[in-house]
A and B are shown apart, each in its own frame.
Chain A
Amino acid sequence: MNCLIEFKNINKSFDGKIVLNGINLKVIKGKSLVLIGQSGSGKSVLLKCLLGIIQPNKGQVIINDNSFFDQDLYLKEKILKRFGVAFQGNALFDSLKIWENISFKLIQTQRLSNKEIKDKVEHSMDLVGLSKSIMHQYPSQISGGMQKRVAIARAIIDEPEILIFDEPTAGLDPVTGGKINNLIIDNVKRLGCTSLTITHDMDSVRKIADNVAMISRGKITWNGKKSEIEKSSNKELNEFINII
């Protein structure tokens, strides 16, 4: 199996409180890995370590056989260009219009004409089922479900190699959540990319995942294929599935 991202012995603590305690995990190229775990288990911190937002106390993140933290800033930025990220709270820029939010990365990283940018924004909005009528509105003027779609449209606009979704269905009703899950599946398939999703929503796991890893108290306590979840005798995993 071709490994695209590898977490090697990642340790992170805040003010003496251990959040990640020796995380070892591989993300296989072209597959969709879903990371599950209870709130406060360290999922989002691990994701921030992957993106270089948080520096771990110990350990390495290997992307395409290169250690991410050993690269200089310019190389890190080059690596990050291969990522498309949809944050938990969407992280849309309040002061920018919807089209400016979606096209932000394109404008910053590529030299495109206004027409090319407009076409790409419209295409991206089509893919996530957003009406063009909201293009000139601000994020605060649209619903939570629509904001989630805008965040996904922004993540996929430059057809990234790696897609990251942090709690994509958090705070959404089951119907809207289901639609967001379908959007993720469709776009990951269409782009043929690798995806890493963080969630505690088992519906998302069943729909999106190829592989699943469970994180608990800062450690990976279970890792395997989606089909193996139900047969697993792992106590924490079974508890998590049954409670959720």
Chain B
Amino acid sequence: MTIILKNLGKFTILSLKNIGRFVIFGAKFFFWLPRKPFFLKQFFKQIFEIGYLSLPVVGLTAFFSGMVLAIQSYTGFARLGAEDAVATVVVLSVTRELGPVLAGLMVAGRVGASITAEIGTMKVSEQIDALYVMSTRPIQYLVIPRVLAGLICLPFLVLIGDIIGIMGGWIIGVYQLGFNSMVYMDRTIEYLEIIDIFQGLVKATIFGFIITLMGCYQGFHCGQGAKGVGRATTNSVVTSSILILISNYFITTTFFGN
């Protein structure tokens, strides 16, 4: 019993310590954000890395998810005789949920891991110390461009993912399930509201912030050697993914709770 309590205490202290460190790290980001210098070249480089290079992954995920969603919802709705609702279900599911959450999880795996591995390697090979010694604040050079790029790129990725996902559903609807193309498109647009898209984009922005800030935090606080970097990379992906799913619930409740 004593051992269980002791371990529970240790775990609680460690968890609180990590949360505290993360909050301080986030506070440092906001403190340095409005201050000069801003590393524009780094920012554009990150836009390319996070935004452009994530397009294939996000696009493919959205495309196949849209197709699967169309097939699954058709199978279910056919039992109720409500096949006409397939297009509406696909568009609402993709814009509100699947688009932002799947894009967030895929980007957490691709970008979050890459950010942590890069910054972690820089830490263990003293490159971050070198930045500091050369009068360059590591937060401004490494963190701010990445987090801002994440904030900007994720909504665009989700928007593109939404379009591709809806297209995937349309292809299945028209070529496999035998819907009329015009009717399917009408159904898609008819029940879609601006708030559905807006909600997805708000989610994407928050997910972008979570992924990039967590990626940077884990990189800055990784342990020594390859093992330390590897562990930090795993922590980055797992923690970002969990935070994405938790925050997704709260954002959805905020928009549609009532």
Contacts and interface: CB of A to CB of B under 8 A. Distances in A.
Interface of A: 48, 51-53, 77, 80-81, 83, 85, 87-89, 91-95, 104-105, 108-109
B180 interface: no
A83 B134 CA distance: 8
A157 to B, nearest CB: 10
Where chain B touches its partner, the secondary structure class is: helix
A154 to B, nearest CB: 8
Nearest to B129: A53
Nearest to B124: A89
A197 to B, nearest CB: 16
A91 B135 contact: no
Contacts of B125: 89, 91
B136 interface: yes
Nearest to B37: A108
B133 interface: yes
Contacts of A87: 126, 129-130
B135 A89 contact: no
B135 A85 contact: no
Nearest to B42: A95
A191 to B, nearest CB: 17
A88 B134 CA distance: 16
Contact of A108 (B121, B129, B135): B135
Contact of B135 (A48, A88, A93, A105): A105
A85 B130 CA distance: 8
A77 B135 contact: yes
A85 B136 CA distance: 14
Contacts of A93: 122, 127, 130
A141 to B, nearest CB: 16
B134 A108 contact: yes
Contact of B130 (A52, A91, A95): A91
B132 A109 contact: no
B133 A85 contact: yes
Contacts of B132: 51-53, 80
A50 B188 CA distance: 65
Nearest to B121: A94
Nearest to B141: A108
A105 B118 CA distance: 21
16 contacts: A48-B129, A51-B129, A53-B129, A53-B133, A77-B135, A81-B135, A85-B133, A91-B129, A93-B122, A93-B130, A94-B127, A104-B134, A105-B135, A108-B134, A108-B135, A109-B134
B1 to A, nearest CB: 28
A48 B50 CA distance: 34
A53 B130 CA distance: 10
Nearest to B126: A91
A89 B126 CA distance: 7
Interface string B203-236: 0000000000000000000000000000000000
B130 A109 contact: no
Contacts of A53: 129, 132-133
A104 B136 CA distance: 9
A19 to B, nearest CB: 15
B27 to A, nearest CB: 15
B134 A105 contact: yes
Contacts of B134: 80, 104-105, 108-109
Most buried by A among B126, B132, B136: B126
Nearest to A44: B126
A80 B133 contact: yes
Contacts of A48: 129
Given A83-B133, A93-B127, A108-B136, 11 more contacts: A48-B129, A51-B132, A52-B132, A53-B133, A80-B133, A80-B134, A85-B130, A104-B134, A104-B136, A105-B134, A108-B37
A80 B130 contact: no
